[in-house]
């Protein structure tokens, strides 16, 4: 019993730390990624992940990991061998291609890299020889931003509707909940695609991005609205709320001071559940070619390479973005689970 409790505390904390690290790495993609996302190496299409070595060909152990330069095999396409004559040590905080921090400050330090003729591709390359590891990091900026922003929209809409609906009750409540029911019953992926169908196909990437986020976020307001409504409804009739009304408090004051704080836990849990769902929504749309288009990387775009059966079968490292996606979902769902349990154990008293 005690061990299980301990475990249930440790796992979500580990998940939260992992999520934090992942978000930080993606936020600082320019620094963590060794290359630019659109940087092409036409000599290395579909190169497999670079092997990291510690022991060289003479059997000596190196404390600093190193790699060998790989070259294309002359008699084949997309096959590579390592040339073992020279080691290229993995260097940290190297100076390489310039990127901008926060879109402004020019900077050219990277977390790691190797000396020039060699390349380090931690997750292999795609058909243009672009480094997948860098692209996953940069693509994560788009996919995660989409998930987070859409979640914010959903929760904001849901909280507003839920508050008004629960607090004022009556016909407002009745009609809002009927509409919420409608939104809950709609098959959201179909709607998402259909709405995308109604939007013009060729618009600027920034516009597409914002429109998609708006659509994804708007469709999901119903569940948080219903949950918030339930909480507000029960909080509204508490004695201290009635007392504060007796002292002449305004509706806005009561909502902000006495009612809304009850909903924070639920909203947080919903956020942790919605983010992975919306990240997956963006990935799905981009996978189908209805989201952001090349050369902008997003996890969906990267996965879209797998739609070709020969890529799917021959180059297993093209699955790397899927791993990132699974890890993000796993992290968020673990945290959401912990929030949920905390909330349930708290509400018993």
Partner 1 sequence: MKPSPDSKMWSSMMWSSVKYLERRVLHAVLLLLGASILSFLFSSLAPGSFFDEMKLNPQISPETVAALRSQYGLDQPWPVKYFRWVKSVLHGEWGYSFAYNQPVRSLLVLRARNTLLLTTLAMLMAWLIAVPVGVWVASRRGHWEDQLTSASTSFLLSVPELVLALGLLYLVIRTHALPVGGMVSTGFDRLGFWGQVSDLAAHLIVPVTTLVLASLPILIRHVRASLIEVLQAPFIQAARGHGISRSRLLFRYALPAAANPLISLFGLSVAGLLSGSLLVEVITGWPGLGPLLLEACFSRDIYVAIGVVMASTLFMILGSLLADIMLVAADPRVRTDHA
Footprint of partner 1 (CB under 8 A):
4, 179, 181-182, 185-191, 193-201, 276, 280, 283-284, 287-290, 303, 306-307, 309, 312-313, 316, 319, 322, 325-326, 329-330, 333-334, 337
Contact between residue 68 and residue 53 where contact means Cβ atoms under 8 Å apart: yes
In the complex, minimum distance from the CB of residue 220 to partner 1, in angstroms, rounded to a whole number: 13
User: 29: closest CA among 91, 86, 110, 89?
Assistant: 110
CA separation (Å) from 135 to 18, 80, 114, 321? 20, 21, 18, 9
CA-to-CA distance for 154 and 103, rounded, in angstroms?
A: 27
In the complex, minimum distance from the CB of residue 152 to partner 1, in angstroms, rounded to a whole number: 21
Which C-beta is closer to partner 1: that of 13 or that of 243? Answer: 13
In the complex, minimum distance from the CB of residue 203 to partner 1, in angstroms, rounded to a whole number: 10
Which C-beta is closer to partner 1: that of 252 or that of 313? Answer: 313
Which C-beta is closer to partner 1: that of 70 or that of 305? Answer: 305
In the complex, minimum distance from the CB of residue 333 to partner 1, in angstroms, rounded to a whole number: 5
The one-character DSSP state at 257 is: I
Buried/exposed code over 101-119 (b: 16+ C-beta within 10 A; e: otherwise)? eeeeeeeeebebbbeeebb
Contact between residue 136 and residue 321 where contact means Cβ atoms under 8 Å apart: yes
In the complex, minimum distance from the CB of residue 147 to partner 1, in angstroms, rounded to a whole number: 12
Q: Radius of gyration of the chain from Cα atoms? A: 25
**In this structure, how many other beta carbons lie within 10 angstroms of the beta carbon of residue 82?**
15
Which C-beta is closer to partner 1: that of 40 or that of 342? Answer: 342
Q: Is 248 helix (H, G, I), strand (E, B) or coil?
A: coil
Total residues belonging to the chain = 349
Question: Can you tell me which residue has the tokens 């509706």?
Answer: 251
Which C-beta is closer to partner 1: that of 32 or that of 179? Answer: 179
Which C-beta is closer to partner 1: that of 38 or that of 195? Answer: 195
In the complex, minimum distance from the CB of residue 332 to partner 1, in angstroms, rounded to a whole number: 8
| Alpha-carbon torsion (194, 197, 200, 204), positive or negative | positive
CA-to-CA distance for 285 and 339, rounded, in angstroms?
A: 29
Which C-beta is closer to partner 1: that of 232 or that of 324? Answer: 324
Pairing relation of β-strands 91-101 and 53-55?
unpaired
Which C-beta is closer to partner 1: that of 86 or that of 308? Answer: 308
In the complex, minimum distance from the CB of residue 62 to partner 1, in angstroms, rounded to a whole number: 35
In the complex, minimum distance from the CB of residue 240 to partner 1, in angstroms, rounded to a whole number: 33
């Amino acid at each position: 019993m005690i061990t299980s409790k301990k475990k249930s505390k440790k796992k979500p904390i580990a998940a939260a730390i992992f999520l934090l690290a992942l978000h930080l790495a993606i936020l600082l993609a320019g620094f963590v990624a060794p290359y630019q996302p659109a940087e092409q190496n036409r000599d290395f299409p579909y190169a497999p992940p670079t092997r990291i070595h510690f022991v060289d060909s003479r059997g000596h152990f190196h404390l600093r990991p190193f790699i060998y330069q790989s070259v294309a095999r002359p008699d084949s396409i997309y096959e590579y061998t390592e040339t073992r004559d020279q080691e290229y040590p993995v260097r940290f905080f190297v100076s390489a291609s310039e990127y901008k921090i926060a879109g402004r400050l020019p900077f050219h330090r990277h977390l790691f890299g190797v000396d020039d003729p060699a390349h380090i591709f931690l997750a292999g390359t795609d058909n243009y020889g672009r480094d997948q590891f860098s692209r996953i990091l940069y693509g994560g900026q788009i996919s995660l931003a989409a998930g987070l922003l859409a979640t914010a929209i959903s929760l904001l809409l849901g909280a507003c509707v839920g508050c008004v609906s629960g607090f004022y009750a009556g016909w407002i409540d009745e009609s809002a909940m009927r509409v919420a029911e409608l939104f809950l019953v709609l098959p959201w992926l179909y709607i998402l695609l259909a709405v995308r169908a109604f939007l013009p196909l060729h618009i600027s990437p920034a516009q597409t991005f914002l429109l998609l986020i708006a659509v994804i976020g708007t469709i999901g307001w119903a569940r948080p609205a219903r949950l918030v409504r339930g909480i507000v409804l029960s909080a509204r009739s508490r004695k201290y709320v009635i007392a504060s009304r007796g002292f002449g408090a305004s509706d806005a004051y009561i909502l902000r001071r006495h009612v809304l704080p009850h909903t924070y836990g639920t909203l947080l849990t919903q956020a942790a559940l919605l983010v992975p769902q919306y990240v997956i929504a963006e990935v799905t749309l981009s996978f189908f070619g209805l989201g952001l288009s090349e050369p902008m990387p997003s996890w969906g775009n990267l996965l879209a390479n797998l739609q070709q059966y020969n890529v799917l079968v021959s180059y297993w490292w093209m699955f790397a973005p899927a791993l990132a996606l699974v890890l993000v979902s796993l992290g968020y769902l673990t945290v959401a689970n912990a929030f949920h349990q905390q909330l349930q154990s708290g509400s018993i008293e």
